[in-house]
Structure 1
Amino acid sequence: MKTTTMLLCLITMLLIASAYSDEQAGMRIGMAHRDTLSPKPTPFHRIEDIMGMDQKRHGLISQKIKSKKGGAKMSLGSGFDFGAAQYFSEIMVGTPAKKFRVVVDTGSELTWVNCRFHGQGKETREVFRAEESSSFRKVGCKTKTCTDDLSRLFSLAICPTPRTPCSYDYRYADGSVAQGVFAKETFTVGLTNGSVATIRGLLIGCSSYSNGGGFRQADGVLGLAFSDYSFTSKATNIFGGKFSYCLVDHTSNKNISNYLIFGSVPSSTTTSPARLTAQLDLNVLPPFYAINIVGISIGDTMLNIPPQVWDVNKSGGTILDSGSSLTFLADVAYKAVVSGLERHLVGVKRVKPEGLPIEYCYDTSKFDEKKLPQLSFHFKGGTRFAPYRRSYLIDAEPGVRCLGFVSAGTPATNVIGNIMQQNHLWEFDLVASTLSFSPSTCL
């Protein structure tokens, strides 16, 4: 019975459709190639027009795809509770993914973790066991990648057999060292839209040995320098040519954090003050993020600092570095800054905390920091970065604060460290070569 009913319904629907098609004319819309609407385009201009339109379309498609993916979002907090002057993030490495706490370093090209490979490597707080990851692929020592491409990352010439992994002895400016083998691995990252994604084939260092104060309580380093082999290169290629971070106060506890984001900053994380923009010089001091500082002022007074201090061609220049804590200035600039600030600290008792490599420290238990004038860094083009006073009169211990500057010698590259950057949102646009920033609580 049911089958008969269904057949009757189907026959009725077909009859109705047939009657409808007989009574109604179909809709017809004319189509013509866009070139027929133009007055006799030449072959050259036709191809030029096609290329222009297609490139714009491809750009819009790429933007939509990337916006659907969302940006990569990683936690970022101070290492204060761990006795470290660095900022830490957490990364998920391997298959299955394992979590590691790493130093966030815009001055380092290599991302590495403490690692055991074929039994080599020391047991630390956390260690990556390479053989347990199905996505771990060592880089061979006979490959062009090892012998040529990774030479600037201190790849070694040791190669007893073609199957031997490509080894490295990675050296940092402060004398720290990491030694191990290069590999390609998969990273798992959270996205700003709440989902997760994997980044495959990312260069990683499997470090069997590391030594340096900067690595204290960390499992490795997240290399964010401007380099073809850094984490930044791979992540910005996937999520768009920008990355940003907001550094919480350097004395914050570990439960207070913000984010390192690859891709555009979500509107919910932007701050109310208008963001300022300056040029980012990506090719003058590679792989560092060079900025074009032209002077420093205290209050309304521009300090008398020779122009060559800021000139890369005269062994000067300035970089922004999340891996350095204090701010390093060429000696003549250092002397101008500390003497300029010291004039406003007359009557405040100067002290010398034991083991602290900072020259100017004071007993500020009864000192109002508002008495200290505003220090500002001036960019070429007129943009001005005015850090909070607690970023250059920094807490050293209870009741003691120090001027957070160190002489870098002469000549020297100036380095704006992470304490000076704290409580600001920084966005690096690697496509437009711009640096944007604005004050933020980073909470």
Structure 2
Amino acid sequence: MKQRKKTTSTMNWIPPISLSPICFFFFFLLPIVAHGLKDQTSATMRLELIHRHDPRVFQLHGKKQSPLDKFERVKELAHRDMVRYARRTNLETFDMPMHAGRDLGAGVYFVQVKVGTPFQRFWLIADTGSDLTWFNCNYKPQNFTLRRKRRSQSRRRMFSPQRSRTFQPVTCSSQECKVDLSHLGSLQACPNTSAPCLYDFRYLDGSGAQGLFGRDTFTVGLTDGRKGKLKDMVIGCTRSMIEGPTVSKKIDGLLGLGLSEDTFVAKAASQYGGKFSYCLVDHLSHKNISNFLTFGSTISKASLLREIHTTPLVVVSPNYGLNVVGISIGGQFLRIPQIVWDFNANGGVILDSGTSLTLLARPAYLAVIEALVKPLDLVEKMKAFDPFEFCYSSKGFDENLAPRLAFHFEGGARFEPPVKSYVIDVTPEQKCIGIIGVDSPGPSIIGNIMQQNHLWEFDLVHKTVQFAPSPC
């Protein structure tokens, strides 16, 4: 949620696919023999048609076998299908590699960005609940008075504005600094007209970033193979970090995907069709497993998705809100006061890729927990630890014992996450209910673990959210 924050690609949805109908272009032709028959007029030539992932193809390139496992090979084929479709229909789309933060010990998802001219690469937290895009930075302007933590700076990748021909600092005397960027934490301090515009951006968990504003160019890879440019993008050049659950020395920075002016989403969507989407791989996936954050139109989902749901998007800047009708457990609607879902009463539900766990306002939380815990009485209980209240032994755990949870949205859309998204693995031996109660009134948040293994597409023009189950 906004900069007052947290507790802690179209992303290429890959349908179940049969290899047999994959188009001709995913195969290779190898000559076998030209057969000369007695009747020369009936002579024929035969070519063997083999799959592009056949071991012989890799042997031609000095490799024993494909470096990809079976599932990743199918994902590659489907991604190529989408690229070919974009070329045929002249759709401009770009995507950015995205993977889970397990190997960094972080419960968030990271996206690779290329910023500056020539570009510099960084892995940033993909956060739909925040609107400032920032990264660690070694810019050294005069009169820069914010304190910086020298201990951990040397371990981080740094953006060097001096190396970028397209970087322009925002001055503190400008209207942009005084007014336009005030929602991003711009400071009023201005020792002279050419001094940089400083910011102090804080999150709900107490962590934060301090630095100076600038503008620069992002380079993106279009799905037709060309390069695209997002010019004049507002960025935060962070010199000092206040570490906490959101911000730590392990990260390069944060990609603000929130809904407000001057965000990455506002700029990218305005150039690429007003849509963006992502599909979050399992949160326990290693960094070699990835998907994409995608901006622009995508292949017709009617031909890809078996179960697609659509519901109105509620803009609660910078957050993405959904109108919830109710929650059911095991097919039974729970008795939850409707005021919990009312944005006008400081309630409502927000989708947030930067929050790991799902947070429910207390009345909803109590109803959900009561309905979930009772069927799990047969499972061996383990001592819970903060922030979890109910934990169980993983040994012999049967997902069939856990009732199915479903969120019901306006328009009849039904979101039914897999059991692993709300009875989550916290250690190899222990599972816990990954839903936390928060004070009411206040918004509830559907976090990234609950969102995993689903495609989520945000249509900012028609103000809708579409989602469907997907192996990502």
- TM-score with structure 2 length normalisation? 0.77
Give the partner amino acid of 1:118. Answer: K
Residue 318 of structure 1, aligned match among 342, 349, 371: 349
Aligned-residue CA RMSD (Å): 1.9
Shift of 1:272: 3.3
- Identify the residue that residue 329 of structure 1 maps to in structure 2: 360
CA distance, structure 1, for counterparts of residue 464 and residue 157 of structure 2: 37
**1:278 Cα deviation (Å)?**
0.5
Alignment: residue pair count? 376
Match status 1:410 vs 2:440: yes
1:434 aligns with 2:467: no
Partner residue in 2 for 1:397 = 427
Aligned twin of 1:213: 245
Q: Does residue 245 of the first structure (1) align with residue 278 of the second (2)? A: yes
| Structure 2 residue matching 1:362: 3-state secondary structure | strand
Structure-1 residue corresponding to 2:258: 225
Q: 1:171 corresponds to which residue?
A: 202
The whole-number CA distance in structure 1 between the counterparts of 2:304 and 2:416 is 16
What pairs up with 1:65-214 in 2 under 5 angstroms?
68=90, 70-118=92-140, 122-210=153-241, 211-214=243-246
Q: Deviations over 1:50-69 (max 9, x none)?
A: xxxxxxxxxxxxxx999646
Q: Distance in 1 between matches of 2:299 and 2:222?
A: 11
User: In structure 2, what residue type is equivalent to 1:325?
Assistant: S
Conservation of the 8 A alpha-carbon contact between 2:132 and 2:236: yes
Structure 1 65/78 Cα, relative in aligned 2: closer, same or farther at 3 Å? closer
Listed one character per residue, the Cα deviations across residues 368-415 of structure 1 (whole Å, up to 9, x for unaligned) are 102212100011222111111110111011121111101111111000
Deviations 1:176-197 (A, max 9, x none): 1000000000111111112211
Deviations 1:239-286 (A, max 9, x none): 11000000000000100000000001235998431311001012xx21
Indicate which of 395, 399, 408 corresponds to 1:378. Answer: 408
CA–CA distance in structure 1, aligned partners of residues 212 and 219 of structure 2: 21
Please tell me the residue identity of whatever aligns with 1:251: L
The letter for the 1-side match of 2:203 is Y
Partner of 1:348: 379
CA distance in 1, matches of 2:436, 2:301: 36
Alpha carbons 2:328, 2:407 under 8 Å: kept = yes
Using the TM superposition, give the Cα deviation of residue 349 of structure 1 relative to its aligned residue in structure 2, in angstroms.
2.3
Q: Secondary structure at the match of 1:407?
A: strand
The answer as to whether partners of 1:331 and 1:407 remain within 8 angstroms in 2 is yes
Amino acid aligned to 1:187: F
Find 1:358's aligned residue among 369, 385, 388: 388
Write the letter of the residue equivalent to 1:405: I
Q: Which of 308, 316, 319 is residue 288 of structure 1 equivalent to?
A: 319
In structure 2, the residue matched to 1:297 is: 328
Partner Cα distance (2:217, 2:87) in 1: 21
- Given the superposition, is the C-alpha separation of residues 66 and 281 from structure 1 closer, same or farther in structure 2, using an over 3 Å criterion? farther
Name the CA shift for 1:169/1:280 in 2 (closer, same or farther; >3 Å). Answer: same
Say if 1:278 and 1:383, in contact at 8 Å, map to a contact too: yes
Query: Aligned equivalents of 2:422 and 2:274: distance in 1?
Result: 31
**Residue equivalent to 1:256:** 289
Larger helix fraction of residues:
1
Q: 1:391–1:422: 8 Å Cα contact kept in structure 2?
A: yes
> Which residue type is aligned with residue 245 of structure 2?
G
Q: Following TM superposition, where does structure 1 have runs of at least 4 consecutive aligned residues deviating by more than 4 angstroms?
A: 64-67, 267-271
CA distance in 1 between partners of 2:295 and 2:363 (Å): 37
- 1:176–1:212 Cα contact (<8 Å) kept: yes
Q: Larger relative CO (CA 8 A, sep 6+): 1 or 2?
A: 2
The CA distance in 1 between the partners of 2:301 and 2:318, in whole Å, is: 31
Q: Which residue of 2 aligns with 1:51?
A: none
Q: Distance in 2 between matches of 1:266 and 1:117?
A: 42
Superposed, 1:2-13 pairs within 5 Å as none
Q: Distance in 2 between matches of 1:379 and 1:138?
A: 43
Report the more deviating stretch, 263-272 or 428-437.
263-272
Deviations 1:331-362 (A, max 9, x none): 111111111100110122222255x4211111
Q: Distance in 2 between matches of 1:390 and 1:269?
A: 27
- Matched to 2:184, the amino acid is L
What amino acid does structure 2 have at the position aligned with 1:438? A
One-letter identity of the residue aligned with 1:116: N
Distance 2:88 2:317 in 1: 27
Aligned counterparts of 1:138 and 1:385: Cα–Cα separation in 2: 44
CA contact under 8 A between 2:384 and 2:390: conserved in structure 1? no
| Structure 1, gaps ≥5 residues long | 1-63
Deviates more, 1:69-78 or 1:164-173: 69-78
Q: Which runs of 5+ in 2 are unaligned?
A: 1-85
Q: Report the TM-score when normalising by structure 1.
A: 0.82
1:177–1:66 CA distance, 2 compared to 1 (3 A): farther
Q: Secondary structure at 1:340's aligned position in 2? A: helix
